[in-house]
Structure 1
Amino acid sequence: MSEWTERTELSAYLARQRWFGEGEDEVPITDVSELEWLSDPTEGLGVRFELVVAGGLYNVPLSYRQHPREDLSYGFVGAVSLNGEVFYVYDALHDPEARGILLQGFVAGMDSPSDIDYSRLEGFSLEADADSVLMSAEQSNTSVIVGDNLVKFFRKLAPGRNPDIEIQAALTRLGSEEISPLLGWISSGDIDLAMVGVFQRSATDGWESARTSVRALQDDEMRARDAGGDFAGECERLGLTLAVVHEQMRQTLPTASWDAPEVAALVRRLNARLDRAIDMHDTVVTYADRVRAAYAALDSVTPVPVQRVHGDFHLGQTLRTTSGWMIIDFEGEPAQPLEDRVRLDSVSRDLAGMLRSLDYAAHSVTIALGVEDNEYVDDWVRRNRIAFLNGYGFEASDSAVTLLRAYEIDKALYEVVYESNYRPDWVDIPLRALNRLL
């Protein structure tokens, strides 16, 4: 058993990380699996992947140095003794030299340890000694820019193919122009550790683009329909992009149909989320009967076509490039079990995710600016929701509307739980949405 299970330094480091989630000062570590050394610590720098069991399974690559480094202090984990010699241990993703060693298996002609596989799609390799830049904005994973490539290290792990790799490999081989192509991935046995794709250097983030449009509404000279930066045209194009990607998924990945038993199972899952939200926020109980009635109405929508979907679709999972929109991050909700993230589902889940994201983009701006919600912001949300659904080609039959409404209610309840835990000042955003939807 690793000595990390008996020490407090690594557990305290995990507890501080955004990708680990909110925790106590320390978290109990029950096991650590140390993969083979990628570089030998006796030669001055040791680097290896370490798989840490602390409630869930986490990817914590570490670098071992013979001398402390002040410039790496943010990623400092602790000091340990190996074979009688003291080493200073750092999160390897915060150590530029160690990052290069973690990725050297993608360099043409380089060997890799027997317990790590570096899989590459045809034509891909990294340049030796390429510089890397750590991205700091993420919560669930850790990404590194290496030249024209983006490497995403998965932090929370599970046995089985990561859906981000599975879906993007299928769409890349299909030749999809609506995603950023997959180039390769790192795995150990049946556990995926990281993936590499093309870095869209000139792209703009969909979340910030939408919020920029909302901020323009605060100028008395520029109102929703007159503003040159209005977002409705972009929303319509984004809806079309999602429709294309959904069709590509149907071409390359499994599909099925839900009948009454499967829809009943969906209703049970939705009601379970409702129960968690009731426990989290007292206001939700006032909506509970109407929510359950909305879910019960799903009995009338069978059969429901289902397929692989994005699963966590929002503006932050989109990029606006010079050639159009791209959709990224097909991992689903990383906090959920893998079996939930790969379950076939209705495309309405992705539609509902974007509808909620548009509402969030608008009202997050009013919170940031300290202004009251107003008719212009509400009008922005309404028009962009309509534009997105029109672009997608949504057909508003009674069954389709009932299904979409149920998924949007479920997403709003998920947001109530999240905001109650992490951003109480934002919880009114999903509560307002519940009031509107119900």
Structure 2
Amino acid sequence: MIREAFRLYRGKARLLRSAAAGDPVSRVLSMPRGVAGYDRYERVRERGELVRGRSGLYMTASHAVCGKLLRSPDFGAVPTTVSKRALRPTDGSAQRLVHPLDDSFASIDPPEHTRLRKIVAPAFTPQAMRAQEEFVTDVVEQELDRVDRQSTVDLIDEFAVRVPSRVICEMLGMPTSDHELFVRWGIEFGAIVDGARTPGEVRRTRQLLTEMAAYFTELCARRSREPGEDLVSRMVRATEAGEMTQPGLVATCEALLIGGFVTTANIIGNGVVGLLAEPEQHARFLADPEGLAATLVEETLRLDAPAQYSVRITRTPTTLAGKDLAAGSPVVALLAAANRDPEVFTDPHRLDLTRPNPHDHLAFAAGIHYCIGASLARLEGRIALRALFTRYPDLRITGRPRYCPSRVIRGPQHLPVSVR
């Protein structure tokens, strides 16, 4: 454990020294968790389309370069920086713990990625989303009825996480009674998704992965004995048919649960913060919430991407933005910066419901790893924000938002509001 601690602290110290020396790449990677990184992203943009940091890591804030990087077959997915120690089970067994991203199709390249994604994809087709619309609307209204009993609430705890949590639990066939547990997992995973950098974070990561693995292993075993028509049952059948591995099954369940409510919760929270910061746009939205709800979702995704960056690695020697990259070169695509690229978006740092191209954002990535749940998040965000401001046109923020303690995930973890 002493050796692991030394390695973690040594890596952090190198990063901080490079940042202090003016390296814009290191400044992004070493920024405090939970703070907005947009000023730091702009320093990367100022250095060019593709910037090489002191460590050799490449980073881009360019919309064009990010789009090419995400869509190019010359680049592959990269596992997270989770410590190997964090994947050792707490019971001392030889079988390592699974990771929601590293061990699901989220971090796997074709052809295996294509095969695994096809198992899950039918649950997120346009037809499937149309079938979900009435249910999502009912859930939103029921949760607003709960909020209606109070004058001041934490919008995230009392609404933004509850809506998508109930929806994804229904799709997966999971009990909503475990809502509080799922929310804690989502918050904890968001805090360590960009890597554990202290021994304490390694311990918390191990505990989190242990809890999730035990829960979903038991759930999948139950679905094997008592199958249904839910998404977990579908994946269990695919596993029994040899189309998925058992670790892949558990990891995919974890990824769908966490991704299924964290992204939408951030859309709702970021949408409220962004809209209320622009009185003119707020008034415009209140005049036509039905017609502008979808635009508000897209503009929120553009302005505050729920996932701030993504990483890809070169499969073979290739050229990107005029620079020759060796095989195995990692490149950080700053999605949040690409979404504020002045070459693509006019006045990019403010929310504008009249923007002609808000849908050109890269908040859900692009290419084969485009977010599989994007259509569900859009549906939930549109219905929730429309209903929220329709019922509470005088909604206002009453305290300082507290953001998720993460460099990757961007969204309020707590947002006190008045609904009277």
TM-score tier after normalising by the smaller chain length: under 0.3
- Tell me the TM-score normalized by structure 1: 0.24
Larger radius of gyration: 1
- Tell me the TM-score normalized by structure 2: 0.25
Bigger fraction of residues in strand: 1
